[in-house]
Amino acid sequence: MSDAAVATSAGGQPTVSKISEAVIRIAGNSQDGIQAIGGFLARLAGRSEQEVMTFMTIPSTISGGPSIFQVRIGSGEVLSSGDEADMLLAFYDHSYFNHLGSLKNGGIVLYDSDHLKAEAIPAENLARYRHIGVPISALTIEAIGGTGRDKGKNVFALGLLARMFDLNVDKLHRLLQERFTGKDPKIAETALNAFNAGYHYTLATATELYQFKPGENVGQAQVVMSGNEALAYGLIAAGVRFGSGYPITPWSDIMELLRRELPKYGGTFQQAEDEIAAVSMAMGASWGGRVAVTGSSGPGISLKTEAIGWASMAEMPLIVVDVQRGGPSTGMPTNIEQSDINIACFGGHGDSPRVVIAPANVEDCFYCAIEAVNVARKFSTPVILLTDQGIATRIEAFREPDLQKIVQDISPDLSPVSEHKPYDLSAPDGITRHIAPGTRVASGKYPVVTGLEHDELGHPTGSPKLHVQMTAKRRNKLKKLAAEIPTPTVYGPAEGQVLLVSWGSAQGPCQEAVKIARANGEAFSSIHIKYINPLPNGLEKIFEAFRHVFVVELNDEGLYGIGQFGSILRARFADPRIRGINKSDGLTWKISEILSRARALTQHSTNV
Amino acid sequence: MSEMAIPFAVLPRGANTRIEPVAPLADADRKPLTKKEVSADHPTWCPGCGDFSVLALYFKLIEKRRMHHEKITTVAGIGCSSRFPYFVQAHGAHYIHGRALPFASGVALSRPDLHVFVFGGDGDAFSIGGNHFTHTARKNVKLTYVVMDNNVYGLTKNQTSPTSPIGFKSKTDVWGSKDRPINPIKQAICAGATFVGRTTATNPNHVLAMMEQAMDHDGFSFVQVLSECVEFYPGAFDNANPRKGGAFAEVPKEHDVTDEYAAYRLAENLWPGHFGVFYKVQRPTKNANEAQIVTDAQAKVAGLEPWQILKKNFDRMK
């Protein structure tokens, strides 16, 4: 909680401090509705025109098991989910002991004293943190009756937090009503009772209450959603009307949403019998004339690689979403990792160029999805949207897109043509564009799409000359794309000591690290690369202006100590200043980790 | 606000397409497509291969049913027979091994105006693509699947196939195959195919009749065509060819094609077995079921533009 301006305390009442941001970590079990409280807080922040970012972990077990949700609410720009929490809301002993380490010195612990007994709290903890015990379980039962067992505790706790942070009660009431509407009216009433009981509970041991300063985004309507939701809605906005997938965490939310939503737009999403069928159905629909989507997480992407290679060869537009998780193999399904960049860029046999775009945050998921569709169509290529578990599951608020302007129609053009060669080598722009079946070709020569090396009409060839020409054609169109991508801008001054290079979800943490380093007098800047393949032009000039270039990514440093994206950049620019800041603990970046690793590397610049 | 490098754009036809005005072609002006008009590359099959017959009868079907050129949609996987789309002068897709069915399902479900023909072999259908065969059949996706079954891997030059009989000597079973072969008819019935037919390449009229009935069936239609590999399994189906001393036994007239168990029993012995329609029932197609879901969903958002439908969702997320 930064820049607390303490208001005067009046007659034994707790003081009220004005804060510009807070990090609240809620820890309990997965069935406690932890995500629901986090969701309410995030949505409220969005409605209050505040920036918000959340971070959550769900256990991979089917039910039960520890679960956390961390919300960072700020009146200004929020770039990461926050290194340390200002407040920990702990429902159980294990929630308390496992997560106390994430609390900053002097932070507040709000705990359920029905589960964690005061005498179990070590004395040194009492000295380090402010403890507030509330018999949450018992009071919830008192407020709403004991039938629901542990139900309602989360909403009671939300009431406590609302009191503590002086949150807008009217808006929260509305949110609760919206959330529980449509069901038995009694349920909404019970929820409000639980909330009000929490809100009116006197926090006797709280000496201080907090109030957020007004947000900076005043007057802007914000929407609050997860990255998976933003990506799925982005695809719909882009005009995608067919998709196919197979369930796998953390991709499944996207397919569930598309399955539910697409019929409203006249489209459909098919749950396929396996990952290969999923990519194949989407491919068939793409050939049918409208770019389609498939997606998965690591293991499923491995299965789809042969088909993606076909898309490269046949030059078929296709969107493949890869919500990365911890790998290899089944790995750590509910943890974050950015270790699929190699398979995204190079997965498959042969020279199979494709486009890889990595969104940086939830809002970016929405826009990258549209961009991916347009790139796929324009360059007739598979596009892999490389997101990750962190972005996929966290909730952020962002400015509501101008949907009337953005939503596009990409219905296939089936009007007859006089002549068509899908793989025309003499086409002025050198780019393949298919015509869909159903399109009459007056010349009577119809195209075949194929995975065999082919001639201009798609018929098989063993000609060495044609293989060279067609390989170049598939490569060169992506070089054309590279020339169209704007060179990324540097965050911070364009020259200095350290340039942090980020891709995907590392953008926010890197920018926050730059802010902190700059405030500390260190010449840090950062650059974010959205197009992983092909890379934008002009990066070498940017790198030249820095003494160190550190690629910050959540994957192993690898055999050569520079990580996956680092290796690509090294290979591309042959610049020994490029080094890696990598980790593979399955957790998001802490700003302090990035800074300390960067500082340490500058001390050991043997490679320079 | 995120920036977009590639902005929204209406995409014109590519530079690889000539788009000068094309005179409209009224249905009444359409003539049946001749073999010359619908044949493309000369087939790469060995002389005497049974697949020639299937191709010739596909052409015949196109001509007989006066199919519109642009609507002919031919999909295949990998194998000798899967080269099919290159030999047909029409929209075609030559996809990866074993996955022609899901690819074709994607076409069928997104383009209800097209009837997709999928051609393939026994390896494509029952080995590498076995899972897709089961699920496409059970979902009753409306398309026609013609499997040219030669009981051997031909393209890769003589390995055991999932339909090779016990004792069949191949390069991978020099001592004779020991594995129980798949019975394609039983497999199709069990999986839930709603049209199951069987024919042999040596009886052209029967092949045409089966393909025609399959095309007219509203649902997943499967036709097994015995198609001899003269190179690696010559004489495999002589016992079904009267000209070679065999017998072409049609499905008995009294057979009830809607009786699943009778069909299953009839498929008991396929050496050489019966020919004709084993099983044919009406069950809602995947296409119809999905169309109903779309109709219901769209009724709730009637009159709204796509952006307005999306806006409703976004309004709930404020």
Each residue's pLDDT tens digit, A244-258: 999 999 999 999 999
**Could you give the CA distance from residue A475 to residue A457 in angstroms, rounded to a whole number?**
19
Q: pLDDT at residue A147 above 70?
A: no
**Could you give the CA distance from residue A566 to residue A535 in angstroms, rounded to a whole number?**
13
> Does the beta-carbon distance from B310 to A233 stay under 8 Å?
yes
Same structural domain for residues B297 and B231?
Answer: no
The confidence score (pLDDT) of residue A214 equals: 83
**Could you give the CA distance from residue A474 to residue B210 in angstroms, rounded to a whole number?**
42
Domains and CATH numbers, chain A: 5-220 (3.40.920.10), 224-406 (3.40.50.970), 415-484 (no CATH), 490-603 (3.40.50.920)
Which of the given ranges, A67-76, A94-103, B2-11, B132-141, has the highest pLDDT on average? B132-141
A601 touches B at CB < 8 Å: no
> Regarding predicted confidence, which is higher, A190 or A295?
A295
Among B13, B102, B306, the residue with its CB nearest the CB of A277 is B102
> Does the beta-carbon distance from B5 to A370 stay under 8 Å?
no
Same structural domain for residues B92 and B154?
Answer: yes
A427 touches B at CB < 8 Å: yes
One-letter amino acid of A1 = M
The bridge status of strand A21-29 relative to strand A66-74 is antiparallel
> Does the beta-carbon distance from A437 to B70 stay under 8 Å?
yes
**Could you give the CA distance from residue B31 to residue B38 in angstroms, rounded to a whole number?**
13
> Does the beta-carbon distance from B94 to A424 stay under 8 Å?
no
Same structural domain for residues B91 and B215?
Answer: yes
The confidence score (pLDDT) of residue A599 equals: 97
Q: Give kind and range of the element (H or E) at residue A237.
A: helix A227-238
Q: Which residue of B has its CA nearest to A263?
A: B294
Mean pLDDT over each residue of chain A, to the nearest integer? 91
Express as a percent the part of chain A with pLDDT over 90.
74
User: How many CB atoms within 10 Å of residue A521?
Assistant: 6
> Does the beta-carbon distance from B107 to A287 stay under 8 Å?
yes
Same structural domain for residues B257 and B295?
Answer: no
A303 touches B at CB < 8 Å: no
**Could you give the CA distance from residue B139 to residue B286 in angstroms, rounded to a whole number?**
6
CB A208 within 8 A of CB A86: no
The bridge status of strand A546-553 relative to strand B17-18 is unpaired
CA distance B216 to chain A (A): 19
Q: pLDDT at residue A4 above 70?
A: no
CA distance B276 to chain A (A): 30
Q: Which of B1, B3, B4, B6 to mutate to test the interface with A (most CBs of A within 10 A)?
A: B6
Q: Is A74 helix (H, G, I), strand (E, B) or coil?
A: strand
Q: Which residue of B has its CA nearest to A232?
A: B310
In a domain, B11, yes or no: no
Residues A165-187: what's their mean pLDDT? Answer: 85
In a domain, B20, yes or no: no
B261 touches A at CB < 8 Å: no
The 3 state secondary structure assigned to A399-428 is ECCCHHHHCCCCCCCCCCECEECCCCCCCC
A200 touches B at CB < 8 Å: no
Banded model confidence at residue A608, pLDDT cuts 50, 70, 90: very low
> Does the beta-carbon distance from A280 to B301 stay under 8 Å?
no
Residues B52-67: what's their mean pLDDT? Answer: 98
In a domain, B83, yes or no: yes
Among B16, B19, B301, the residue with its CB nearest the CB of A427 is B16
Q: Is A458 helix (H, G, I), strand (E, B) or coil?
A: coil
Neighboring chain B residues of A485 at a CB cutoff of 8 Å: 5
The 10s digit of each residue's pLDDT in A518-575 is 999 999 999 999 999 999 999 999 999 999 999 999 999 999 999 999 999 999 999 9
The 10s digit of each residue's pLDDT in A395-418 is 999 999 999 999 999 999 999 999
The 10s digit of each residue's pLDDT in B224-256 is 999 999 999 999 999 999 999 999 999 999 999
CB A512 within 8 A of CB A499: no
The answer to which of A151-165, A270-284, B5-19, B87-101 has the lowest mean pLDDT is B5-19
CA distance B136 to chain A (A): 9
Tell which B residues from 109 to 168 touch A, by Cβ distance under 8 Å: 109-111, 113-114, 131-132, 134-135
Q: Is A547 helix (H, G, I), strand (E, B) or coil?
A: strand
The answer to which of A122-131, B85-94, B285-294 has the lowest mean pLDDT is A122-131
**Could you give the CA distance from residue A466 to residue A127 in angstroms, rounded to a whole number?**
76
List phi, psi (to 5°) of A527: -140, 140
> Does the beta-carbon distance from B106 to A484 stay under 8 Å?
no
The answer to which of A135-139, A441-445, B158-162 has the lowest mean pLDDT is A135-139
- Lookup: tokens for B217: 């069936």
The confidence score (pLDDT) of residue A35 equals: 84
Among A225, A314, A440, the residue with its CB nearest the CB of B69 is A440
**Could you give the CA distance from residue A444 to residue B33 in angstroms, rounded to a whole number?**
11
> Does the beta-carbon distance from A280 to B106 stay under 8 Å?
yes
In a domain, B198, yes or no: yes
- Give the sign of the dihedral formed by CA B12, CA B17, CA B20, CA B24: negative
B26 touches A at CB < 8 Å: no
Tell which A residues from 481 to 500 touch B, by Cβ distance under 8 Å: 484-486
Same structural domain for residues B168 and B313?
Answer: no
The confidence score (pLDDT) of residue A551 equals: 98
In a domain, B10, yes or no: no
Closest CA to B116 of B194, B220, B39: B220
**Could you give the CA distance from residue A372 to residue A234 in angstroms, rounded to a whole number?**
10
B7 touches A at CB < 8 Å: yes
Closest CA to A377 of A174, A238, A187, A219: A238
Q: How many CA atoms lie within 13 A of A363 on its CB side?
A: 21
Q: Give kind and range of the element (H or E) at residue A363.
A: helix A362-379
Rg (CA), chain B: 22
Same structural domain for residues B258 and B301?
Answer: no
Give me the number of domains chain B comprises: 2
Q: Which of B1, B3, B17 to mutate to test the interface with A (most CBs of A within 10 A)?
A: B17
> Does the beta-carbon distance from B106 to A222 stay under 8 Å?
no
- Lookup: tokens for A33: 């509705």
Q: Which residue of B has its CA nearest to A223?
A: B318
List phi, psi (to 5°) of A233: -65, -35
Neighboring chain A residues of B19 at a CB cutoff of 8 Å: 417-418
> Does the beta-carbon distance from A433 to B16 stay under 8 Å?
yes
In a domain, B137, yes or no: yes
**Does the complex come out with an ipTM higher than 0.90?**
yes
Same structural domain for residues B201 and B105?
Answer: yes
Q: Which residue of B has its CA nearest to A362?
A: B2
Q: Which residue has the tokens 């809100």?
A: A199
CA distance A397 to chain B (A): 9
**Could you give the CA distance from residue A22 to residue A29 in angstroms, rounded to a whole number?**
23
Q: Which residue has the tokens 């092909």?
A: A534
Banded model confidence at residue A9, pLDDT cuts 50, 70, 90: very low
Q: Which residue of B has its CA nearest to A379?
A: B14
B28 touches A at CB < 8 Å: no
Same structural domain for residues B224 and B306?
Answer: no
Question: What is the DSSP annotation of B237-252?
Answer: TGGG-GGGT---EEPP
Neighboring chain A residues of B307 at a CB cutoff of 8 Å: 237, 403-404, 406-407
Question: What is the DSSP annotation of A466-527?
Answer: HHHHHHHHHHHHHHHHHHHSPPPPEES-SSEEEEEEE-GGGHHHHHHHHHHHHHTT--EEEE
Closest CA to A508 of A552, A540, A567, A445: A552
Banded model confidence at residue A59, pLDDT cuts 50, 70, 90: low
Q: pLDDT at residue B161 above 60?
A: yes
The confidence score (pLDDT) of residue A8 equals: 45
The pTM is what?
0.95
The confidence score (pLDDT) of residue A179 equals: 84
CA distance A282 to chain B (A): 6
> Does the beta-carbon distance from A484 to B5 stay under 8 Å?
yes
The domain that holds B218 is classified in CATH as 3.40.50.970
The confidence score (pLDDT) of residue A64 equals: 65
B20 touches A at CB < 8 Å: yes
**Could you give the CA distance from residue A134 to residue A147 in angstroms, rounded to a whole number?**
21
Among B4, B101, B293, the residue with its CB nearest the CB of A367 is B4
**In B49-155, at which residue ranges do the beta strands (DSSP E only) sit?**
73-76, 91-94, 116-121, 143-149, 152-153
> Does the beta-carbon distance from A451 to B96 stay under 8 Å?
yes
Among B13, B69, B94, the residue with its CB nearest the CB of A451 is B94
The confidence score (pLDDT) of residue A74 equals: 87
CB B253 within 8 A of CB B74: no
Same structural domain for residues B157 and B301?
Answer: no
The bridge status of strand A531-533 relative to strand A578-582 is unpaired
Q: Which residue of B has its CA nearest to A455?
A: B86
A287 touches B at CB < 8 Å: yes
In a domain, B314, yes or no: yes
In a domain, B9, yes or no: no
**Interface contacts A/B by beta carbons within 8 Å:** 281
Among A290, A418, A434, the residue with its CB nearest the CB of B18 is A418
Same structural domain for residues B250 and B194?
Answer: yes
List phi, psi (to 5°) of A209: -115, 165
Tell which A residues from 14 to 43 touch B, by Cβ distance under 8 Å: 43
Banded model confidence at residue B172, pLDDT cuts 50, 70, 90: very high
Q: Give kind and range of the element (H or E) at residue A270.
A: strand A268-271
**In A335-466, at which residue ranges do the beta strands (DSSP E only) sit?**
355-357, 382-388, 395-399, 419-420, 448-450
> Does the beta-carbon distance from A438 to B298 stay under 8 Å?
no
One-letter amino acid of A508 = G
Helix boundaries (H) for A251-361? 252-261, 275-287, 298-314, 341-346
**Could you give the CA distance from residue A268 to residue A273 in angstroms, rounded to a whole number?**
16
User: How many CB atoms within 10 Å of residue A261?
Assistant: 19
The confidence score (pLDDT) of residue A607 equals: 47
CB A290 within 8 A of CB A239: yes
DSSP state of B276: E
Q: Which of A52, A168, A268 to mutate to test the interface with B (most CBs of B within 10 A)?
A: A268
Q: Is B147 helix (H, G, I), strand (E, B) or coil?
A: strand
Banded model confidence at residue B197, pLDDT cuts 50, 70, 90: very high
Neighboring chain A residues of B293 at a CB cutoff of 8 Å: 263, 268
Range of the domain at B303: 285-318
One-letter amino acid of A208 = E
Q: Which residues contact B78 (CB under 8 A, 6 or more apart)?
A: B95, B96, B97, B98, B124, B155
> Does the beta-carbon distance from B318 to A460 stay under 8 Å?
no
Same structural domain for residues B48 and B144?
Answer: yes
Same structural domain for residues B242 and B306?
Answer: no
